[in-house]
Amino acid sequence: MFQPDDPLAPPQPVFDEPWQAQALALADSMVKAGHFSAHDWAQTLGAALREAEGRGAPDTLETYYLAVVEALEALSQSQTDITQDDLSARRAAWEEAYHRTPHGQPVLLKP
């Protein structure tokens, strides 16, 4: 729990939304499973952040976590059997699920 009077607490909450924590957990899991190295992760995330800066993206948590997703997608394609078509199909399935899900309900993919 974030406590502003705690001298060891971060200056702001680390995650704005649950998906941000999940994205970092996924990256950690993929490194631990050997899908890519911690060095490759750091290099790819750094490149995504530099690219965002070059586009003029603001220095915000949102920009950082969008770079995390970009780096995960890039490494997934280059270091696993996941293709751009796989990513596009999964994204389309999630978007469809999101649009058909009533407000306040969890978004679920059809099997």
Question: What pLDDT is stored for residue 110 in this prediction?
Answer: 80
Question: What pLDDT is stored for residue 111 in this prediction?
Answer: 74
The answer to whether 26 and 76 have CB atoms below 8 angstroms apart is: no
24/109 Cα distance (integer angstroms) = 21
| Tens digit of each residue's pLDDT, the chain (111 residues) | 445 566 666 666 778 888 899 999 999 999 999 999 999 999 999 999 999 999 999 999 899 999 999 999 999 999 989 899 998 999 999 999 999 999 999 999 887
